[in-house]
Structure 1
Amino acid sequence: MSLRLSTVILPYLRWHEGGRAAWQRAEQLGFHTAFTYDHLSWRTFREGPWFGAVPTLTAAAAVTDRLRLGTLVTSPNFRHPVTLAKELISLDDISGGRITLGVGAGGTGFDATALGQEPWTPRERADRFAEFVPLLDRLLTEDSVSYEGDHYSAHEARNIPGCVQRPRLPFAVAATGPRGMRLAARYGQAWVTTGDPKLYETGTPEQSIQAIRGQVEKLAVTAATLGRDAAGLDKILLTGFTPDRGRPLESVDAFVDFAGRHAELGFTDIVIHWPIPDSDFAADEKLFEQIAMEAPAQLS
């Protein structure tokens, strides 16, 4: 299978001042999927405009026809499975079955305390994630769900007619730890990684490749223990967080080399950030578009 190229469009632009145009241009450029972050605010963008993921994806669905759309990623930090399921079913319907849910355990950023709660420990995040994903799976596949857990509950939650995509829209589960890997292997149609965060500041590209190879191997072992072949799981690399950072977007050749080395590890999808001036995701827009149009053919 050819390596697919997707993008992340951060929701910082007003819809009528560049937001709509970016999503439409992503479809024109041939990206497989255009994702957005599902945060209330994020890092250096905290003091500026930042819009909601679900309304943004709804608007994007209305102005595109072929482009897949999704979150990368949604987390339990400020989401509840019951209300999220209703929004996802609606999104899947509006888009005609083009939605992928990227989902992760969440982190310690602004989202973690925006609702007034104390930040959860890593153990608490893992515990919640372990309930969140299975309950969401049920809510998206069953007409009526009742559930009483340690962290989440549902009482006769109705989700008729369900997803356009059957049995439900696909999950792309972001995970590097053992519990998250089990969720990806059991419930995911795809697995997502950003690489090893410990290598971001001081690691080398070679060390990053070795670390990611180790993650892929752990996923394969975990899937095997659950009776599943990890070869059937799509594997998504969200770029921009490995030691190479922006170097893959310095030329078409640089990107093809970077993507090819990860394809050799079994990755099916590479995701690059839509250029944002004066940010960590600054890039030459013309070169970005050239990569989008030319690189996939060289990676087939």
Structure 2
Amino acid sequence: MRLSTVILPIYRWNDGGREVWQRAEELGFHTAYTYDHLSWRTFRDGPWFGALPTLTAAASATSRMRLGTLVTSPNFRHPVTLAKELISLDDISGGRVALGIGAGGVGFDASALGQEPWTPKERADRFGEFVPLLDRLLSEDVVSHDGRFYSATEVRNIPGCVQRPRLPFAVAATGPRGMRLAARHGQAWVTTGDPKLFESGTPEQSLAAVRGQIGRLGDACAEHGRDPGELGRTLLTGFTPDRPLASLDAFVDFAGAHAELGIDEIVVHWPIADSFFAADEKVFERIATEGPAQLARG
């Protein structure tokens, strides 16, 4: 079981931001992710910085920990420009970058560029073109594509990624189309559980929902002739009925139960006081430093 964290891009780099990312590496997190939004929910009227510049700075301030987005979406990204930035970030980090990628949703990002929010079907349609094109752009030196939503004309991405054939994709999906994309293009799959259970469900119902998602992921892999064991399974916490950061024991019980389902990476939010992600910092650090060892002991 890998333990990772997600650090929201709310910190001025020269006023504590650098130290947060360095502390995450000191605590031994496998990967430190950040959200790739223009703003997000209750943080909309406060500081919020760009994901890729933040990760670039983090790459220069750390040396071992992997880095990534959780998640990037087509809401305001184009595969051509995104690929160029990711190749640059992969180079600067020495090959430590993973791309969490999802179809996007409603909210500020969905209309920030002046467009009407896309329907769920259009989001899925765009995602279905976005992911394969981005895969090619990160894997091939020269790419041309004339699609329904995206175009690329003799786009050159030389020398490509440090990681070969490209940096890994962690595809966030719960529906059948997204899971097929994960099975075809992903090195990992990401879930937040079943959002319908967050407020009124039970931990047992949430576990059952994740179990069902993993089963459907296996079906998608079988459809593409892929061994499900080749695909990592990541759970981003904070959106299930559980409270895994309440104590070290709570975390170990939570992570252990999900490990039994096949989840092999747990991602916890870096504590933010007076927010949805508030948590006791001492408990959080105990979870980071002691939790993986306790899980390894069974």
Shorter-chain TM range is: over 0.9
| CA–CA distance in structure 2, aligned partners of residues 166 and 206 of structure 1 | 40
Equivalent of 1:256 in 245, 252, 255? 252
Give SS of 1:78's match: coil
| CA–CA distance in structure 1, aligned partners of residues 90 and 264 of structure 2 | 23
* Paired position in structure 2 for 1:31: 29
Equivalent of 2:79 in 72, 81, 86? 81
One-letter code of the match for 2:283?
L
* Paired position in structure 2 for 1:164: 162
CA displacement, residues 142-195 of structure 1 (integer Å, 9 cap, x when unaligned)? 000000000000000000000000000000000000000000000000000000
* Paired position in structure 1 for 2:228: 230
1:58 and 2:56 matched: yes
One-letter code of the match for 2:71?
V
Aligned length: 296
Moved over 6 A (4+): none
Q: Percent identity of the aligned residues? A: 78
Instruction: Report 1:194-273 matches (<5 A).
Output: 194-244=192-242, 247-273=243-269
One-letter code of the match for 2:245?
L
| CA–CA distance in structure 2, aligned partners of residues 47 and 134 of structure 1 | 35
Equivalent of 2:147 in 146, 149, 156? 149
CA displacement at 1:40 relative to structure 2: 0.1
Give SS of 2:112's match: coil
TM-score by length of 2: 0.99
Equivalent of 1:192 in 174, 190, 193? 190
* Paired position in structure 2 for 1:121: 119
| CA–CA distance in structure 1, aligned partners of residues 246 and 183 of structure 2 | 34
One-letter code of the match for 2:53?
P
Give SS of 1:166's match: coil
CA displacement at 1:201 relative to structure 2: 1.2
CA displacement at 1:283 relative to structure 2: 0.3
* Paired position in structure 1 for 2:129: 131
| CA–CA distance in structure 1, aligned partners of residues 249 and 175 of structure 2 | 33
| CA–CA distance in structure 1, aligned partners of residues 192 and 107 of structure 2 | 16
| CA–CA distance in structure 1, aligned partners of residues 123 and 220 of structure 2 | 20
Equivalent of 2:290 in 260, 275, 294? 294
Equivalent of 1:6 in 4, 7, 32? 4
Give SS of 1:248's match: coil
Give SS of 2:278's match: coil
